[in-house]
A and B are shown apart, each in its own frame.
Chain A
Amino acid sequence: MEFSTNELIWAIINFVVFFVLLRLFLYRPVLKILDGRREEIRDNLAKAEQARTMAEKALAEHERQLAKARDEAQAVISRAQATAEKTKDEILSQAQRQAQDAIERAQRAIASEKERAVTELRREVADLAVMAAGKVLGRSLDVEDHREFVDEMVRKLPPAGGVPAGKTG
Chain B
Amino acid sequence: MFPAAVSAGMAAIASEVGEEAASHGPHVFFRLPFLGLEVTSIETTMWGIMLIVLVAAWLGTRTLGRVPRSRGQALLEVAVDGLRAFFAPIIGEENARAFLPFLGSLFIFILLSNYSGLLPGAGHLPGLAAPTSNWGVTAGLAAVVFVAVQYVGVKKRGLAYFKHMVNPWYLAPLLLPLGVVEEFVRPFALSLRLVANIFGGETVVLALLAATPWFLPIVPLGLELIFGFIQAFIFTFLTAIYLATAVAEEH
Contacts and interface: CB of A to CB of B under 8 A. Distances in A.
Direct contact of A and B (CB under 8 A): yes
A11 B139 contact: yes
Interface of B: 21, 25, 35, 37-38, 40, 42-43, 46-47, 50, 53-54, 57-58, 60-61, 64-66, 76-77, 80-81, 97, 100-102, 104-106, 108-109, 131, 133-141, 143-144, 195-196, 199
Name B's interface SS: helix
Interface of A: 1-12, 14-19, 21-23, 25-31, 33-34, 36-37, 40
Given A11-B137, A12-B141, A31-B80, 17 more contacts: A7-B42, A9-B35, A9-B140, A10-B42, A10-B136, A11-B131, A11-B139, A11-B144, A15-B105, A15-B109, A16-B144, A18-B50, A26-B60, A27-B105, A34-B81, A37-B66, A40-B66
27 contacts: A1-B135, A1-B195, A3-B134, A3-B136, A3-B139, A4-B25, A4-B134, A6-B37, A7-B42, A8-B143, A9-B37, A10-B137, A10-B140, A11-B46, A14-B50, A15-B144, A18-B53, A22-B105, A25-B61, A26-B101, A27-B104, A28-B101, A30-B64, A31-B101, A33-B77, A34-B80, A40-B66
3 cross-chain pairs, A with B, having the tightest CB-CB distances, nearest first: A11-B140, A7-B136, A26-B57
B40 A36 contact: no
A10 B195 CA distance: 16
A30 B50 contact: no
